[in-house]
Amino acid sequence: MEACSRRPGTPGVGKTMLGQELASRSGLKYINVGDLTREGQLYDGYDEEYDCPILDEDRVVDDLENQMNEGGVIVDYHGCDFFPECWFHTIFVLKTDNTVLYKRLETRGYNEKKLNDNIQCEIFQVLYQEVLSSCKEEIVHQLPSDKPEDLEDNIDQILKWIEQWVKDHSS
């Protein structure tokens, strides 16, 4: 049995970079829910205001179920309330300074409404609060993601967590 973790957070906080690097160093499987959704066309319409497809949460869960039951998976997505809590042993939420995040999202070409709403989401810690309300607080950890050094520190911290989890759950 291997640890499963997920990395929610506002777009642009560094979830994908962290998840891919963790998978590379740990040997765990990396799943980017955005990519999975695009590849499987797991949509339920299109949001014109935010210029993005609307995720069909039930189809995403159905598509992921077998892989999650096998364990050893890192899941990258900005939300988490629709995933079964039992899928995850820990959740790491990335937090980024608003000035840094604004520049990252601006570089991505987000329209003004999408950019401002995502900044507000980060300011008010909406996704972090969502995780706390839908999961056991003791499995939720918030990590900084402002500068390149944070990436290495976070990877080291999570790899230590994975190592300890495996040690604690080996029979």
CA distance 3 to 91: 11
Whole-Å CA distances, 170 to 1, 57, 72, 163 = 8, 33, 14, 11
Q: Structure pTM?
A: 0.87
Reported as a single tens digit per residue, the pLDDT across 20-77 is 999 999 999 999 999 999 999 999 999 888 888 899 999 999 999 999 999 999 999 9
CA distance 154 to 143: 7
Residue 92 has pLDDT above 70, yes or no: yes
Reported as a single tens digit per residue, the pLDDT across 42-53 is 999 998 888 888
Q: pLDDT grade, residue 9 (50/70/90)?
A: low
